[in-house]
Amino acid sequence: MKSKFLPTLRSNSKAHSLCQLRKLPMVMLLALPLYSHALPSDSNQEIKLLADKATYSERTGVTSYSGNVSITQGTFKMTADNITVNLSQQRSINSAVATGRPATMQQVVTQEKGLAKGQASKIDYNAVTGIITLTGNAKLVQNGASFAGNVIRYSLKAGDVEATAGGNQRVELVFPPSSGSSQSGVR
């Protein structure tokens, strides 16, 4: 199954591009610990919002929270200076936009994979699709591996990650060394 969120490697040099394409399968294999599913029980939990101030518009279904804001649902937690929530006609959350210095999110992906943590200047959460978009000095860490870039899209449902560079910045992927592999020396 092909994912639309896999990291993309770009270069101006054809030789460099070919070299990078040869390395792409290894990078994708190393990134597999990040590609996993969130706990299914999270979506069945109540949603709790805490803030210093809240305003709600009945006409638009928009609620704005400011001052030490947090949203929790099961193991999912998002914190920020400000969060704006858009509600559906049935009063369920359609989306939330968090801004902060930085705004943060975290979720236990699976018991085996542990906690995924993200931070950025702005976090867009689409509750319908389960996709979180981290924008501005974005970073996502899980199981010792990390993605960093200007924009990171993370699927809470599938665990897929897409990182995009901005300006002169490049996407950075860091993977921990394998703990179980023993390599023999040349001599």
Q: For residue 61, report the phi and psi dihedrals to the nearest 5 degrees.
A: 75, 20
Model's pTM, two decimal places? 0.71
Mean pLDDT, residues 102-108 taken together: 92
- Strands 131-142 vs 145-155: parallel, antiparallel or unpaired: antiparallel
What does the pLDDT read at residue 17?
38
Q: Could you give all domains of the chain from N- to C-terminal order, each with its CATH number?
A: 14-174 (2.60.450.10)
Mean pLDDT (the chain) is 76
Query: pLDDT digits over 8-45, tens only?
Result: 333 343 344 333 333 333 333 333 333 334 555 777 78
Listed range (54-58, 85-89, 97-101, 160-164) with the worst mean pLDDT? 85-89
pLDDT of 115 above 50: yes
CA separation, residue 118 to residues 16, 76, 132, 140 (Å): 31, 11, 10, 4
Give the three-state DSSP class for 109. strand
Q: Which helix (H) or strand (E) holds 21?
A: helix 14-31
Tell me the mean pLDDT in the region 82-95. Answer: 84
